[in-house]
């Protein structure tokens, strides 16, 4: 394959020294990416190694600017003007001011992804320095290996939470986490539902009473039952009708719990562009956890309701972060936009010293939520966790990978091994088929998420 004309022109005399190879043949530290940024002062492109975290906060401090990732529609226009499906890290393709991370200049050679047939072009390091001679050199990247995330020691979470609070807030350390973080108490409806869950004598009438005591929740339950998602026969006339005939005791309990907790904290005004919103993520993960739990062998199958509730609350830490660290939540959003290849836990630990999963799990534990849910939230990014109730966290991790692979924007994805499926007693092909069907019905998922926002 020949280089595209526009790329050859951008390389100039250096084109003669370029070789083409499959991306898989390039070393991780050789691959480069170019991130398109903008603010009120204009456009700028930043070049760094593909696997590194672009620290947008550090770059803005260095340059005295307020840059963020360019809107997606604008990026599409830039690529269309160049005639390329992906922009390799060549500044002259746009002609904008450019800043190159200092680590790039340490490479003996670099690899620029073309986006055509999975190819990259390999350029000697000295040649790339000459190509980018007009660009500024700054230090604004962080290697993933330098970010240490506490995955295996939940007992250290409280220490990390307190360290983060000392670092980013003026609050004093107090004994109770909800006091320390100035969070509202567990909503009354959620308290009553928890009491129902642990009461072996609870009956449907008890749940109906709880739901009907909250007018907005009652209206929500009737709306869910009446939606096309459940395709109910006949009109839904009451909460009792919705619970007994269509939704069932466990589903209403879990949906009511998720909704009451989600409403306890305000939805943040800022959010990372390119990711689905809070309630969409919640419904996607709840449905996927339920699907996977139902497919496991009967003797090993976890409690469906707890798996569903874990999915519904898996991202609760996102809301907590926005409320606890409001000045720094913006930094997290910008960093997620500039580093879509990195998991949010790495970025949050680097910026805050703590992750949303750690905060949410600690808070849920203090609120008296079921241990299965607390541990699922805490370990959803750690597929190697083998402690108590490990299956719930594994289902969340697997569901995330399967949804991400199908284009649901939940963040960076990882490969799933055959051994991982085997550990859960799941048939990979049957799981793939079920998730194809789940994503095919995404309009129903979106509609249900929309009802949670009302």
Say yes or no: 165 and 93 in one domain. no
pLDDT of residue 67: 93
Say yes or no: 103 and 173 in one domain. no
Does 258 map to a domain?
no
User: Which of 89, 121, 145 is the last residue before a domain boundary?
Assistant: 145
Say yes or no: 167 and 76 in one domain. no
pLDDT of residue 170: 37
Does 240 map to a domain?
no
278's CB contacts (< 8 A; 6+ apart) are 262, 267, 315, 318, 319
Does 108 map to a domain?
yes
Say yes or no: 13 and 159 in one domain. no
Say yes or no: 17 and 161 in one domain. no
User: Which of 145, 172, 198 is the last residue before a domain boundary?
Assistant: 145
User: Which of 125, 145, 165 is the last residue before a domain boundary?
Assistant: 145
pLDDT tens-digit series, residues 113-163? 887 667 888 899 999 999 999 999 999 999 988 776 666 666 666 666 656
Say yes or no: 170 and 133 in one domain. no
Q: Is the pLDDT of residue 264 over 80?
A: no
358's CB contacts (< 8 A; 6+ apart) are 150, 157, 160, 161, 317, 378
pLDDT of residue 241: 86
Q: Is the pLDDT of residue 298 over 70?
A: yes
pLDDT of residue 6: 84
Say yes or no: 175 and 115 in one domain. no
Say yes or no: 68 and 171 in one domain. no
Q: Is the pLDDT of residue 188 over 60?
A: yes
Say yes or no: 279 and 388 in one domain. yes
Does 254 map to a domain?
no
Q: What angle do CA 278, 283, 285 make, to 5 degrees?
A: 95
pLDDT tens-digit series, residues 283-295? 999 999 999 999 9
CATH number of the domain encompassing residue 63: 3.90.960.10
Q: Which domain holds residue 169?
A: 154-183+265-453
Does 388 map to a domain?
yes
Does 260 map to a domain?
no
pLDDT of residue 167: 53
Q: Are 245 and 380 in contact (CB under 8 A)?
A: no
Q: In the chain, how many domains are there?
A: 2
Say yes or no: 440 and 368 in one domain. yes
Say yes or no: 43 and 161 in one domain. no
**Cα 186 from Cα 367, distance rounded (Å):** 6
């Amino acid at each position: 394959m020949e280089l595209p004309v526009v790329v050859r022109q951008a390389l100039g005399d250096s084109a003669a020294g370029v070789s083409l190879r499959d991306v898989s043949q390039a070393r991780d530290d050789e691959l480069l990416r170019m991130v398109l940024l903008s603010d009120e002062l204009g456009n700028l492109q930043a070049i760094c190694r593909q696997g590194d975290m672009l620290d947008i906060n550090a770059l803005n401090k260095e340059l005295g600017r307020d840059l963020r990732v360019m809107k997606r529609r604008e990026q599409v226009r830039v690529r269309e003007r160049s005639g390329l499906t992906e922009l390799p890290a060549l500044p002259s393709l746009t002609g904008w001011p450019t800043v190159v991370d200092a680590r790039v200049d340490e490479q003996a050679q670099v690899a620029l992804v073309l986006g055509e047939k999975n190819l990259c072009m390999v350029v000697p390091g000295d040649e790339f320095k000459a190509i980018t001679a007009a660009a500024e050199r700054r230090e604004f990247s962080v290697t993933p290996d330098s970010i240490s995330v506490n995955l295996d020691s939940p007992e250290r979470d409280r220490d990390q939470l307190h360290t983060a609070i000392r670092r980013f807030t003026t609050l004093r350390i107090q004994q109770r986490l909800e006091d320390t973080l100035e969070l509202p108490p567990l909503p009354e409806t959620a308290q009553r539902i928890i009491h129902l869950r642990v009461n072996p004598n609870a009956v449907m009438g008890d749940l109906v009473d709880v739901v009907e005591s909250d007018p907005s929740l009652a209206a929500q339950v009737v709306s869910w039952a009446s939606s096309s998602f459940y395709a109910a026969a006949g009109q839904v006339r009451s909460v009792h009708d919705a619970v007994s005939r269509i939704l069932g005791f466990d589903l209403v309990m879990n949906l009511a719990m998720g909704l009451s907790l989600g409403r306890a904290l305000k939805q943040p005004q800022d959010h990372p562009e390119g990711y689905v919103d809070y309630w969409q993520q919640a419904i996607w993960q709840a449905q996927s956890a339920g699907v996977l739990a139902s497919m496991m062998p009967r003797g090993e199958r976890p409690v469906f309701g707890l798996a569903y509730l874990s999915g519904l609350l898996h991202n609760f830490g996102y809301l907590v972060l926005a409320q606890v660290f409001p000045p720094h939540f913006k930094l997290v959003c910008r960093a997620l936009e500039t580093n879509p290849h990195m998991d949010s836990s790495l970025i949050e630990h680097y910026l805050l010293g703590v992750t949303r999963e750690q905060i949410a799990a600690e808070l849920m534990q203090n609120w008296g939520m079921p241990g299965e849910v607390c541990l699922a939230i805490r370990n959803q990014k750690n597929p190697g966790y083998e402690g108590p109730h490990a299956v719930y966290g594994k289902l969340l991790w697997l569901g995330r990978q399967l949804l991400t692979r199908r284009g649901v924007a939940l963040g960076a994805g990882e490969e799933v091994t055959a051994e991982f499926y085997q550990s859960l007693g799941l048939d990979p092909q049957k799981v793939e088929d079920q998730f194809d069907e789940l994503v095919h019905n995404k309009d129903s998922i979106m509609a249900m998420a929309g009802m949670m926002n009302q």
